[in-house]
Amino acid sequence: MQDVQEAKALVRAHYQALDTAPIDHIAEILGHRMSDDCLWRGFHPFNERTSPSAVAETFWSPVRQSLARMQRREDVFFAASNHNMPDGDIWVVSMGHLMGLFDEALLGIPATRKIAMLRYAEFNRVSDGKIVETAMYCDLLHLMRQAGIVRFPDQTAAHLVQPGPRPHDGLLYDAEDPAEGAKTLAVIDRMIFAVDAANENPDARTPRDEMRENWHDDMLWWGPEGIGATYTIDRYIEQHQAPFRRGIADRSFNGHVARLAEGNYGGFFGWPNLTLTNAAGFMGIAANAVRADMRVIDIYRREGDKLAENWIFIDMLHFLKMQGVDVLGELM
């Protein structure tokens, strides 16, 4: 338990220093708590970087330059060992929004001089007092929508600036009962198994029967821009699951880099999680035969013995670019 709390303290200090650092000192600040050869993964076009200076130059300096007077609006924070390596390093998870005044263009997304909120979720692996691995996923399509660029007007669910957990209890700064985290991880694992079973035999159960085993009927699914957010099992099936399963074929699960839970919260990420084919048209993109990857972070809230909320980050820009649709290139 002490290792978990030490890792949390390290990451919280990292965020405090990073969020208040002058832009020209960001690389130096990152170097205080990130290892020199850290592996950092980000959504397209950031991708993989391997040093604090590269992370600063590629991601944090441009973001801080664009979002003036940035604040971290954190909604979820938890830590635990990786389910895939239970005796290994601790992973610390943070999710929320990076909020600021969108005063300078970012990657061709035009500035608005208005408040903007960039959805993010981040996993940090801590080893020997340093952050040695990071997955920092942020929803650039969502930021584009705030700037008035509606690239996917026919998305099946709702565009929202997404709130944190309904009970406002997602910041697990203090130690939690390990038994509660084990319950959360068990429900997440059971849900993954149900999805895999549905992929193997889609006719074995109805989508509603599949869902209600692991989800509350009033579940909230906070999906990425291009798909959107939806509420209740029935509307989730209508507004995401059914369009996704109609459009997508030959899904291959590639595994998770990390999957963990603490208290009522848990999540995972992959690089990539899934490889699949847009076989019948998805997100308004014509059907094609390309095998495309989905890099995904999922964050969950458990309530009782079922899941109540799910926040999803998918690297849509990378997924679409593999199919020949360069959304950021269209802005140039």
Give the pLDDT of residue 1. Answer: 55
CA distances from 85 to 43, 196, 260 (A): 24, 22, 10
- Pairing state between β 296-303 and 130-138: unpaired
Residues linked to residue 85 through DSSP beta bridges, in sequence order: 82
Q: Given the structure tokens 């919280």, which residue do they identify?
A: 12
Residues linked to residue 183 through DSSP beta bridges, in sequence order: none
> Among candidates 261, 271, 274, 244, which has minimal Cα distance to 307?
261
Sort 79 into a burial class: Cβ within 10 Å, 0-12 / 13-18 / 19+.
buried
Q: Give the C-alpha separation, 142 to 179, whole Å.
A: 36
Q: Give the C-alpha separation, 52 to 131, whole Å.
A: 10
Give the pLDDT of residue 2. Answer: 63
* CA 208 distance to own-chain centroid: 25
pTM score, two decimals? 0.96
DSSP structural state of residue 273: S
Q: Give the C-alpha separation, 165 to 195, whole Å.
A: 24
Q: Give the C-alpha separation, 60 to 108, whole Å.
A: 16
Could you tell me if 273 and 252 are in contact, meaning their C-beta atoms sit under 8 angstroms apart?
Answer: no
Task: Provide the residue-wise pLDDT of the chain in tens; the chain has 332 residues.
Answer: 569 999 999 999 999 999 999 999 999 999 999 999 999 999 999 999 999 999 999 999 999 999 999 999 999 999 999 998 888 899 999 999 999 999 999 999 999 999 999 999 999 999 999 999 999 999 999 999 999 999 999 899 999 999 999 999 999 999 999 999 999 999 999 999 998 888 788 888 899 999 999 999 999 999 999 999 999 999 999 999 999 999 999 999 999 999 999 999 999 999 999 999 999 999 999 999 999 999 999 999 999 999 999 999 999 999 999 999 999 999 98
- Pairing state between β 47-49 and 274-278: unpaired
Give the pLDDT of residue 302. Answer: 98
Domains and CATH numbers, the chain: 2-146 (3.10.450.50), 178-331 (3.10.450.50)
Q: What are the φ and ψ backbone dihedral angles of 105, each rounded to 5 degrees?
A: -60, 150
Could you tell me if 189 and 182 are in contact, meaning their C-beta atoms sit under 8 angstroms apart?
Answer: no
